[in-house]
Amino acid sequence: MGVAGSGKSLQGKLLADELGLPWLSTGEFLRMLVAGERRQAMQAGELLDDHEIIELVQKIFAIIDVKQEFVLDGFPRTVGQADWLLNQVKHKQLKVTSVIHLTASEDVVKSRLLQRGRPDDNKDAITERFREYEISIRPILEHFKQAGIPVHDINGEQDIDLIHKDIVNAVNSTIV
């Protein structure tokens, strides 16, 4: 978890590759599957509603073996989505072993996203994403902590290899 531009996708892919796990990115699935007005709203920095995202995640989970480990990138992004995920855990549909939270300053995030050059990476959309992150993601992290799920804060401003090493160490510390 972390704000757009903190390195979630890059680090998620690296972790999945190292551990030989599927990497499930809701952002990638959204860019492939969402069209029309919803896509335009998404490119303006708006989040899709919980129902739409949960429906997408359920489709993703239907095509993989959720009893096996995987790296989930970009979900949950609201407390409602976190509640849904924790409910899946409660009913033993899924197991969440740890949450990796990549931290990065707004200046670093803006610089990275503007260099990335995607259509939804403009100054207004980036400012909106950072605002949404502050409002939505921080409470989710507390939600996970209260549910007893380990949350590891990792400095996302470090060198890519150092970030990856910190993530691997964090994940290895929570394997049971």
Express as a percent the part of the chain with pLDDT over 70. Answer: 99
pLDDT score recorded for residue 125: 84
In a domain, 93, yes or no: yes
d(CA 27, CA 9): 9
Helix (H, G, I), strand (E, B) or coil at 30: helix
Contact 145, 99 (CB under 8 A): no
In a domain, 3, yes or no: no
Backbone phi, then psi, for 154, in 5-degree steps?
-120, 135
Number of domains in the chain: 1
Express as a percent the part of the chain with pLDDT over 90. Answer: 64
Answer whether 0.85 is exceeded by the pTM: yes
In a domain, 2, yes or no: no
CATH number for 58 = 3.40.50.300
pLDDT digits (tens, 9 = 90+) for 82-140: 999 999 999 999 999 999 999 999 899 999 999 987 877 888 888 888 888 889 898 99
Write out the residue range of the structural domain in which residue 31 sits.
8-174
